[in-house]
Amino acid sequence: MNTQFTPHASGIIAIELISLGEDTWWLAALSAHDESKQQLLLWELTYNEISLMAVAAVPTRENTTLRFNPSNPNELVSNSTKSVIFWLYDAQHLSCYIPRLSRRRFKRQIKTLADFTKSCFLPGTSQAVTATSDGYLFLWDARSAELDFFDDLEDEQQIDGKDNKTKIDEKIAVKLVRVSQKAINFLST
């Protein structure tokens, strides 16, 4: 057992752990947001040691939710109240992709976009869901030829000045479903 007393100088706002086998785990943490940029930190834990694998600046403010993809631990999702970020760990580097919602696609269902509350991946799929403060769930799925007619290209944002299209399984919002009249504050897989 290891104890990390100061994983980040600003503190930690979200933490997630996934098992990779009998004696290896990955731990991801979002630093608290302060005057400086928020960070995503990724560690590998074994019975004998803790090793920091990667650190990345979070490109949007005040992310509060963090989840691993149970089907692929190299993928994570985080969200703030106004954006969702899909992360990929590859060769000691964290890349991210921020899909933008097309207001025209969902304008009949919602007049104004409520705050995002939680996000998680759906096990055994490439899909993720994000809950909102007014009871909706957004379903995110991988962009494919069948979905290209939605024409969200102008609404997407690539991070780190790189063309992440070949690395990150790009997601677009494909469905919006109201499941409650009140905020959804908990999602589990």
Helix (H, G, I), strand (E, B) or coil at 7: coil
Give the per-residue pLDDT at 108: 61
Give the per-residue pLDDT at 35: 67
pLDDT means over runs of 10, the chain (189 residues): 60 79 89 81 88 91 91 93 93 89 69 87 93 94 53 42 50 90 89
What are the angstrom distances between the C-alpha of 140 and each of 73, 89, 96, 127, 183? 18, 19, 15, 5, 19
What are the angstrom distances between the C-alpha of 134 and each of 26, 131, 173? 33, 9, 17
Give the per-residue pLDDT at 84: 95
- Rounded CA-CA distance 58/85 in Å is 9
DSSP-derived secondary structure letter, 104:
H
Six token digits for residue 41: 């930190």
Give the per-residue pLDDT at 182: 93
Six token digits for residue 90: 């590859």
9, with CB counted inside 10 A (0-12, 13-18, 19+), is exposed
Contact 130, 171 (CB under 8 A): no
CA-wise closest residue to 123 among 69, 171, 79:
69
Give the per-residue pLDDT at 65: 92
